[in-house]
Amino acid sequence: MNTSLDMMVSQIALTPASLETFTLYANDAANWCGSPWVSEGNVWPTKAMRGNLSDLVKKGLIEIQDYDEGDKVIWFTESGRELAEYLEIDLDIWDFRKH
């Protein structure tokens, strides 16, 4: 990691496991116009990853919204977009909530 990213991760108090979960979903985001599915997309979360998703919500990096038939979709917050940028991940965001 670079120094700026290290500082950001440290300031957020992000665990390595939460950072890994964030990275998995951020990398999948471009497949879903910037808003990947929690469990119906290309990432299949384990029980531990679900805890990491809760951590990411608490830390203000993502929001999780209910969608059809009980699945959920992830929205990246400004802070989450900034972290993705530091990780050099293009989220390819098209926010459906604004359209």
- What is the rounded distance in angstroms from the CA atom of residue 1 to the CA atom of residue 63? 25
Domain of residue 61, CATH code: 1.10.10.10
Whether residue 96 lies inside any domain: the answer is no
In a domain, 80, yes or no: yes
Domain holding 79, by residue range, is 3-90
63 and 51 Cβ atoms separated by less than 8 Å: no
| pTM, to two decimals | 0.86
Each residue of 6-15: pLDDT tens digit?
A: 777 788 889 9
In a domain, 99, yes or no: no
The amino acid sitting at 5 is L
CA distances for 58 relative to 2, 28, 31, 94, angstroms: 24, 21, 25, 23
CA torsion angle 86 25 75 36 (round to 10): 140
Report the number of distinct structural domains present in the chain.
1
12 within some domain: yes
pLDDT in tens, 21-34: 999 999 999 898 88
Any domain includes 26? yes
